């Protein structure tokens, strides 16, 4: 039998027939290295499955990466100039977009996109709560109201089935987040947007090179935004970008990000300050770092995907471990994070917190991921703030509060387990260690509960 051939049912049969040992001692390598997971759990004083570190992040190759950055530093031209323009050209090409605008970070990329598309006071924006706080912040900071759409727990993405019921005459846009680097259901989201005449701003801040039906995430809506913060798969410390195909809109983005100065063919005849603007220009040394990092992105994305698929094949039969699913339209995932759901019922009621601690003790870095951001006190504080009370009637604010109930997301936030992207840059045997560590905790669950 091949290592991947042990189904969840066979696994359960073997377990309920009396012993995991029967599974482990049989001819089924799927359940890994028994000697590694033998003995006491590390959290109880035993030997951990591994002591070796996973690859660090970010990766910096002194010999290959430094020359360009040093030449920028030595040139004294540190503000936006030709290195940023070179990065924009290359990133647009890589992603299959007509234009790219680099920004100081993903948050400002999103703010710029919302601003130039006219989203502001009075508007409602549909967004999922399973995301990093910035996706919600940018809606509030634009003066609009975020309307929460519950999560599809199988894919960890916003649930399109729950979207239309939230639309009112005030709904102006959808902000789908390709969270964890796994694509959201863009067929459904774009169809809803088209039907209701809504703008789509993709938060692709975790989704470099992810694809929906062969097209890159971030090029599927009106504008797509990216982050290049330190932990990201394409990092430069802090940085961001907007992708778009419409010259007029992209010229407006440029203008807005540069104090409202005119920019591009569409503003050739204009001078001075043509609109309210801000400043969120990328610096030359940020772009020089990105140009070095971008050379590795394709190969790293390939490796993450291979390892993610292999890891799924190794853990999908373990009771209580529910791997994430990808929608049928996903042709590539970026795997900024690798998620699965943990069901404590199959682990003798062992809490997720204790499961995570036991796994960490076995040498596997992991976390429980996002909390329910829609329930964070900051959300209510923002609705109660002077600004929002000036901008909205009590009725509108109350409606926003009422929409904030997302029970599926609440459940997901209790069950999720994440591995960060750098773990997926290790080798196959390291993926085996992850699977063996999970299995070791499973086999010893009774000793921890
Ligand atoms: C989903 C998501 N949206 C937006 C952002 C904001 O990006 P940045 O941190 O570059 O401002 C991030 C970054 O962490 C993110 O993960």
Select from 270, 292, 314 the last residue of a domain: 292
Mutation to probe ligand 1, out of 205, 206, 278, 280 (largest number of atoms < 8 A from CB): 205
> Is the distance from the beta carbon of residue 263 to the nearest atom of ligand 1 less than 6 Å?
no
**Nearest to 295, CA basis, from 56, 54, 55, 63:** 63
Same domain, 288 and 300: no
Domain residues for the domain of 133 are 62-292
pLDDT averages per 10-residue partition of the chain, 449 residues: 47 44 41 80 97 97 95 98 98 98 98 98 98 98 98 98 98 98 98 98 98 98 98 98 98 98 90 94 98 98 98 96 98 98 97 98 98 96 98 97 95 98 97 96 92
CB atoms within 10 A of CB 93: 10
pTM of the model: 0.94
> Looking at the domain assignment, is residue 378 inside a domain?
no
Q: Is 202 exposed, middle or buried (0-12, 13-18, 19+ CB in 10 A)?
A: buried
pLDDT for residue 7: 54
pLDDT for residue 15: 44
Ligand 1: nearest atom to the Cα of 227: 10
> Looking at the domain assignment, is residue 394 inside a domain?
no
pLDDT for residue 305: 98
Same domain, 152 and 86: yes
Same domain, 282 and 304: no
pLDDT for residue 8: 53
> Looking at the domain assignment, is residue 402 inside a domain?
no
Number of domains present in the structure of the chain: 2
pLDDT for residue 34: 79
> Is the distance from the beta carbon of residue 206 to the nearest atom of ligand 1 less than 6 Å?
yes
Same domain, 119 and 46: no
Mutation to probe ligand 1, out of 106, 137, 286 (largest number of atoms < 8 A from CB): 106
Residue nearest to atom 12 of ligand 1 (CA): 205
Same domain, 78 and 140: yes
Same domain, 434 and 356: yes
Same domain, 277 and 333: no
Write the CATH number for 359.
3.90.1150.10
pLDDT for residue 270: 86
Same domain, 345 and 424: yes
Select from 261, 292, 323 the last residue of a domain: 292
Select from 292, 324, 357 the last residue of a domain: 292
> Is the distance from the beta carbon of residue 254 to the nearest atom of ligand 1 less than 6 Å?
no
> Is the distance from the beta carbon of residue 130 to the nearest atom of ligand 1 less than 6 Å?
no
Write the CATH number for 145.
3.40.640.10
pLDDT for residue 245: 98
CA distances from 385 to 13, 136, 143, 252, 388 (A): 57, 16, 12, 30, 5
Helix orientation angle between 394-402 and 377-384, rounded to the nearest 10 degrees = 170
> Looking at the domain assignment, is residue 396 inside a domain?
no
> Looking at the domain assignment, is residue 436 inside a domain?
yes
> Is the distance from the beta carbon of residue 203 to the nearest atom of ligand 1 less than 6 Å?
yes
Same domain, 207 and 326: no
CB atoms within 10 A of CB 38: 13
pLDDT for residue 17: 39
Same domain, 228 and 161: yes
For residue 133, the CA-to-ligand 1 centroid distance in Å is 8
Mutation to probe ligand 1, out of 107, 156, 282, 335 (largest number of atoms < 8 A from CB): 107
Same domain, 219 and 337: no
Ligand 1: nearest atom to the Cα of 239: 10
Same domain, 280 and 304: no
> Is the distance from the beta carbon of residue 132 to the nearest atom of ligand 1 less than 6 Å?
yes
> Looking at the domain assignment, is residue 380 inside a domain?
no
> Looking at the domain assignment, is residue 384 inside a domain?
no
> Looking at the domain assignment, is residue 398 inside a domain?
no
């Amino acid at each position: 039998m091949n290592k991947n051939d042990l189904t969840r049912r066979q696994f359960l049969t073997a377990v309920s027939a009396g012993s995991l040992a029967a599974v482990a001692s049989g001819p089924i390598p799927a359940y890994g290295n028994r000697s590694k997971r033998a003995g006491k759990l590390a959290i109880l004083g035993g030997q951990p499955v591994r002591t070796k570190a996973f690859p660090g992040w970010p990766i910096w190759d002194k010999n290959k990466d430094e020359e360009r950055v040093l030449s920028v530093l030595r040139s004294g031209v540190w503000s936006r100039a030709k290195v940023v323009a070179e990065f924009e050209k290359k990133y647009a090409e890589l992603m299959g977009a007509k234009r790219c605008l680099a920004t100081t970070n993903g948050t400002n990329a999103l703010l710029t996109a919302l601003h130039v598309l006219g989203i502001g006071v009075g508007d409602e924006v549909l967004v999922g709560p399973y995301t990093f706080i910035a996706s919600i912040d940018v809606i509030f900071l634009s003066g609009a109201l975020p309307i929460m759409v519950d999560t599809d727990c199988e894919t960890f993405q916003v649930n399109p089935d729950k979207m239309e019921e939230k639309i009112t005459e005030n709904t102006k846009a959808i902000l789908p987040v390709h969270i964890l680097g796994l694509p959201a259901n863009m067929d459904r989201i774009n169809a809803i947007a088209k039907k209701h005449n809504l703008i789509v701003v993709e938060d692709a801040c975790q989704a470099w090179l992810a694809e929906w039906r062969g097209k890159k995430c971030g090029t599927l809506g009106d504008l797509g935004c990216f982050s290049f913060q330190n932990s990201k798969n394409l990092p430069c410390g802090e940085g961001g970008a907007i992708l778009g195909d419409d010259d007029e809109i992209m010229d407006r983005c440029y203008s807005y990000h540069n104090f409202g100065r005119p920019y591009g063919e569409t503003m050739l005849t204009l001078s001075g300050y043509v609109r309210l603007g801000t400043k969120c220009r990328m610096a030359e040394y940020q772009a020089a770092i990105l140009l070095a990092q971008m050379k590795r992105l394709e190969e790293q994305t390939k490796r993450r995907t291979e390892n993610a698929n292999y890891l799924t094949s190794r853990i999908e039969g373990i009771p209580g471990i529910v791997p994430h699913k990808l929608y049928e339209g996903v042709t590539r995932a970026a795997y900024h994070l690798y998620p699965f759901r943990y069901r404590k019922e199959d682990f003798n009621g062992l809490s997720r917190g204790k499961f995570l601690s036991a796994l960490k003790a076995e040498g596997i870095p992991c976390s429980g991921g996002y909390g329910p951001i829609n329930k964070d006190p900051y959300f209510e504080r923002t609705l109660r703030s002077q600004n929002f009370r000036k901008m909205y009637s009590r009725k509108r604010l109350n409606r926003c509060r009422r929409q904030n109930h997302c029970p599926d997301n609440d459940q997901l936030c209790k069950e999720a387990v994440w591995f960060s992207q750098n773990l997926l840059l290790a080798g196959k045997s390291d993926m085996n260690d992850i699977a063996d560590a999970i299995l070791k905790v499973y086999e010893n669950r009774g000793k921890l509960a």
